[in-house]
Amino acid sequence: MQKNPARRRTAALPTGRGGGHPASRPQSGRASSSRPAKSPAPRAAGGRRTAPKKAAKAGFFSAVKGRMDISFFFLVVTLTAIGVIMVFSASYATSLHEEGSSLAIIGKQVIFVALGFVGMFVASYVPAQLYKKLSVWIYLGSLGLMFVALFFKNKTGASRWIPVPGLGTFQPSELMKFAIIVLFASLIDINYRRMDKIKYGFVQFLVWLAPALGAAILQRHLSGLLLFMIIGFGMMFIAGSKFRWFIPPVIGVATLGAVYLSLKGFKYLTERFDAWLDPFANIRDGSWQICQSLYAIGSGGLTGVGLGNSNQKFLWVSEPQNDFIFSIVCEELGLLGAVAIILLFILFVCSGFSIAMRAPDRFSTMLVTGIILQFGVQALLNIAVVSNSMPTTGIALPFFSAGGTATVMQLCQMGVVLGVSRSCRPVASKLPERDAVPKQERPGVAKG
């Protein structure tokens, strides 16, 4: 029987003192070295030696080639899908009245969602450290765009959008939210050991945040001003800043903002507070929007009037496809549908914070924390406004409200979170149990 020349011999070399392989015997007149002998190169078929393979170096993108968090991804897809359905249901009457086609608003929204998912997929492969390196430039670019928007005013005198020929408008404040998150995550990563000192844990952050707040005041963007402060101060508080430091600047910014807006003839602030305290006192002048929203919520009952059967969306509720879309959700899906959507948002926030706690580094942790904080706060404030739990202000509901810049930016931010999830540590439930590991394989336990 002919032997196979490619078969490798597995006989052990003798290790005795007097014989065996020459490499196993000590050389006379030479000090013995503790360095292990180099193993010979492996042989290929036919007995030829092959060159040893070089160890692959970890590239810049190696940390984002893992598997994304599937549960978080499906939560994003579910919320976005429900949001698209509700935008179509809430917008076709307004779209037909203003655009002449019932599909005008939903058609644009579907395009924005498609672009957002492309951006989410691309962002999920971008390493988080790249955002840290570009954090200052992202912030300065966003701040510059906010000041550019001051040259373009709409009919109400607000300057929040930059017209883009052929595409509509761009809202820089949506990009500024992400810029604040990235910049503050970078500053926290640098100063995390000194966050209990007012110089590093508060003043340094306030210096960067003040220009964004000033731009929001000049734009007459009250909701943007509120979100910038909540996102920035929330990240600082989570990182270790002391609560008492936030009280003076909050009072100061609120006072200066109110005085500036009042001097500019922006008297609707007081009207909104009066409408919040007593919405049915003067429906036609200051509280029409919130009253119609409350009518829609009350009309839904337990199970709702049915998908597409809302009456309040027929030019009664203002912006039914945007800021007040949740009132249409309550009317058509009822209390059960509204609670189900709120539970989805709660699961979304919990899943996002789970990714943040398992992130591979401190910057990634704070980056995901800031993004999830932004989405959770926006959802909470939008539902509070729609239900008259707080004065009316223009805060969109994530994944639901129609809007090009907001939709694309929100889905791209979800891509950032999914990118961090690719390099997260496994959850505790996936680790082996102590009793499942054989005794002889446990660390520190001798075999036999």
Q: In this model, does residue 5 exceed pLDDT 70?
A: no
Per-residue confidence band for 262, with pLDDT thresholds at 50, 70 and 90: low
Residues whose CB falls within 8 Å of the CB of residue 50, separated by 6 or more in sequence, listed in order: 41, 42, 43, 44
pLDDT 10s digits, 431-448: 455 555 555 554 554 444
Judging by beta carbons within 10 Å of its beta carbon (0-12, 13-18, 19+), is residue 448 exposed, middle or buried? exposed
Mean pLDDT for the stretch of residues 327-333: 93
- For residues 267 and 275, what is the distance between their CA atoms, to the nearest angstrom? 13
Phi, psi of 170 (to 5 degrees): -125, 135
Considering the chain, what percentage of its residues have pLDDT values greater than 90? 41
How would DSSP label each residue in 75-104? Answer: HHHHHHHHHHHHHHHHHHHHHHHHHS-TTH
pLDDT 10s digits, 355-407: 999 998 999 999 999 999 999 999 999 999 999 888 888 889 999 998 888 99
Per-residue confidence band for 58, with pLDDT thresholds at 50, 70 and 90: very low
Place of tokens 């446990």: 442
Structure tokens at 239: 């990182």
Structure tokens at 339: 């609670």
CB 332 within 8 A of CB 296: no
Q: In this model, does residue 131 exceed pLDDT 70?
A: yes
Q: For strands 162-164 and 168-170, give the pairing.
A: antiparallel
Cβ neighbour number for residue 211 with a 10 Å cutoff: 14
Please give the residue that has the higher pLDDT: either 282 or 209: 209
Q: 106: closest CA among 93, 117, 121?
A: 93
Mean pLDDT for the stretch of residues 192-213: 88
Any long-range contacts for 65-71 (C-beta under 8 Å, 24+ apart)? 65/125, 65/422, 66/422, 66/423, 66/424, 67/422, 68/124, 68/418, 68/419, 68/421, 68/422, 69/351, 69/355, 69/418, 69/421, 69/424, 71/351
CB 143 within 8 A of CB 134: no
- pLDDT confidence of residue 404: 86
Per-residue confidence band for 49, with pLDDT thresholds at 50, 70 and 90: very low
- For residues 144 and 16, what is the distance between their CA atoms, to the nearest angstrom? 78
Residues whose CB falls within 8 Å of the CB of residue 421, separated by 6 or more in sequence, listed in order: 68, 69, 72, 355
Q: What angle do CA 234, 240, 243 make, to 5 degrees?
A: 65
- For residues 412 and 367, what is the distance between their CA atoms, to the nearest angstrom? 13
Structure tokens at 266: 């922006």
Calculate the average pLDDT of the chain. 80
- For residues 276 and 212, what is the distance between their CA atoms, to the nearest angstrom? 28
Q: In this model, does residue 289 exceed pLDDT 90?
A: no
CB 132 within 8 A of CB 156: no
- pLDDT confidence of residue 52: 41
Helix (H) or strand (E) holding 347: helix 325-357
Q: What angle do CA 396, 400, 402 make, to 5 degrees?
A: 70
**Identity of the amino acid at 122:** V
Count of residues for the chain?
448
- For residues 417 and 120, what is the distance between their CA atoms, to the nearest angstrom? 9
CB 388 within 8 A of CB 293: yes
- For residues 157 and 150, what is the distance between their CA atoms, to the nearest angstrom? 10
